[in-house]
């Protein structure tokens, strides 16, 4: 696991396992993740998700597990100072932030569809604050995506506070990990 490709695959695998666990919790049958070189992975489902709340829970489970893996790697780096753990934490944070883009079948898109207008505004504000603090280009993309979804998509009338909370939680913690200054050549 000392090469960057292996770290990326490990980060994606943990992320996908989060989706599988949540899918099974809802009673869906799934297979193992299918890896697509250079792009990531996908999970084939036997039946469609029934509502926006289920879809949000399933979508956000991947980044939640991905955050957990990044935090474990960050902790191991702090204890051991082994550069490999710093790399896993940094790559994992980036992959999971990317997946929070609120478009299509990306995890952020699945989470955003469950939000009311007010909740979308709160999530957009969270991304704006994270960008203001970190000045990270990925957050600019997230902010553009949030604003586009806010302006173009009909909000979910009922909303889903849990999804809004988790979206903001993930944005802040993944951004915090991405701000860690790892040893030269790691990030």
- pLDDT, one tens digit per residue, over 134-175 is 999 999 999 999 999 999 878 888 999 999 999 999 999 999
Each residue's pLDDT tens digit, 58-89: 999 999 999 999 999 999 999 998 888 888 89
Q: Could you give the CA distance from residue 34 to residue 41 in angstroms, rounded to a whole number?
A: 5
What residues contact residue 186 under an 8 Å CB cut-off, 6+ apart? 83, 86, 87, 90
pLDDT at 22: 95
In the three-class reduction of DSSP (H, G, I as helix; E, B as strand; rest coil), residue 28 is classed as: coil
pLDDT tens digits, one per residue of 87-132? 889 889 999 999 999 998 899 999 999 999 999 999 999 999 999 9
Answer with the residue of higher pLDDT: 7 or 71.
71
68/74 Cα distance (integer angstroms): 10
Q: What is the pLDDT of residues 42-62, one digit of tens each?
A: 787 777 788 999 999 999 999
pLDDT of residue 186: 53
CB 11 within 8 A of CB 92: yes
Buried residues in 144-182 as b, exposed as e (16+ CB within 10 A): ebbeebbeeeebbeebbeebbebbbebbebbbbbbebeb
pLDDT at 4: 63
């Amino acid at each position: 696991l000392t090469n960057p490709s292996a770290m990326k695959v490990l980060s994606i695998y943990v992320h996908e396992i989060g989706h599988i666990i949540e899918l099974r919790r809802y009673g869906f049958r799934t297979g193992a993740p299918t890896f697509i070189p250079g792009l990531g992975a996908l999970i084939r489902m036997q039946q469609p998700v029934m509502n926006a709340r289920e879809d949000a829970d399933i979508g956000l489970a991947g980044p939640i597990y991905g955050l957990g893996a990044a935090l474990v790697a960050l902790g191991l780096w702090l204890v051991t100072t082994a550069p490999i753990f710093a790399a896993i934490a940094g790559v994992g944070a980036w992959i999971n932030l990317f997946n929070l883009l609120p478009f299509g079948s990306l995890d952020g898109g699945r989470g955003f569809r469950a939000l009311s207008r007010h909740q979308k505004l709160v999530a957009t504000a969270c991304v704006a604050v994270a960008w203001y603090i970190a000045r990270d280009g990925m957050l600019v993309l997230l902010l553009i995506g949030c604003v586009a979804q806010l302006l173009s998509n009909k909000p979910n009338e009922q909303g889903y506070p849990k999804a809004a909370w988790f979206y903001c939680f993930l944005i802040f913690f993944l951004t915090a990990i991405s701000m860690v200054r790892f040893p030269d050549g790691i990030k």
